Amino acid sequence: MRCPYCGTEDTKVVDTTHDVRGGVRRRRECLKCRQRFSTYERAVLSSPLVVKQDGTREEFDREKLAHGVRIACAKRPVSAADIDRLVGEVEASVQQLGKAEVSSRVVGDMVIAGLKELDHIAYIRYAIVYLRLDDLRSIRDEINRLLRES
């Protein structure tokens, strides 16, 4: 593993931990500059194509999904770890479907369900775009539905 500080390839593993999704976090130390850094390993399974509403297809993109969730959670008391956990759960669920193609609706439904559990304001922000809530009445109806559920 190349050191991100000095570029040498002389590093050693100091600590290894496993997460619930099968990923591995390794704490490393550079033998030359003595800086420490972390690396993350996870299995790269073949990701299905996401079929958009207009019929176009694109590769499932974890970073694109994480970006959308981060926007919904901006300035909310939601930790980066919670966002990463949600994105990881959605990614794992999509891969476990075992299909070559998955509707964007399926992915969106997984995200919206996760956000509803995580933070109601982030859920509403995401729902405005995802559910196409384009007027105040539909937004109020969704808020009222959320309030009734909780």
The string of pLDDT tens digits covering residues 102-126 is 999 999 999 999 999 999 999 999 9
- Which residue type is seen at 96? Q
Domain ranges of the chain: 11-41, 49-149
Secondary structure of 56-86 in the HEC alphabet?
Answer: CEEECCHHHHHHHHHHHCCCCCCCHHHHHHH
Question: Phi then psi for 122, rounded to 5 degrees?
Answer: -60, -40
> For residues 49 and 102, is the Cβ–Cβ distance under 8 A?
yes
pLDDT digits (tens, 9 = 90+) for 26-48: 999 999 999 999 998 876 667 78
The predicted pLDDT at position 140 comes to: 95
The number of beta carbons lying within 10 Å of the beta carbon of residue 74 is 10
Confidence of residue 98 (pLDDT cuts 50, 70, 90): confident
The predicted pLDDT at position 32 comes to: 95
> For residues 94 and 86, is the Cβ–Cβ distance under 8 A?
no
The predicted pLDDT at position 35 comes to: 96
Query: Quick check: 136 pLDDT over 90?
Result: yes
Q: Is 97 exposed, middle or buried (0-12, 13-18, 19+ CB in 10 A)?
A: exposed
Overall average pLDDT of the 122-139 stretch: 93
d(C-alpha 29, C-alpha 23), whole Å: 20
Confidence of residue 21 (pLDDT cuts 50, 70, 90): low
Confidence of residue 20 (pLDDT cuts 50, 70, 90): low
Overall average pLDDT of the 69-93 stretch: 94
Overall average pLDDT of the 116-142 stretch: 93
For tokens 């609706």, the residue is 105
The number of beta carbons lying within 10 Å of the beta carbon of residue 4 is 12
The predicted pLDDT at position 41 comes to: 86
The predicted pLDDT at position 47 comes to: 78
Overall average pLDDT of the 53-68 stretch: 93
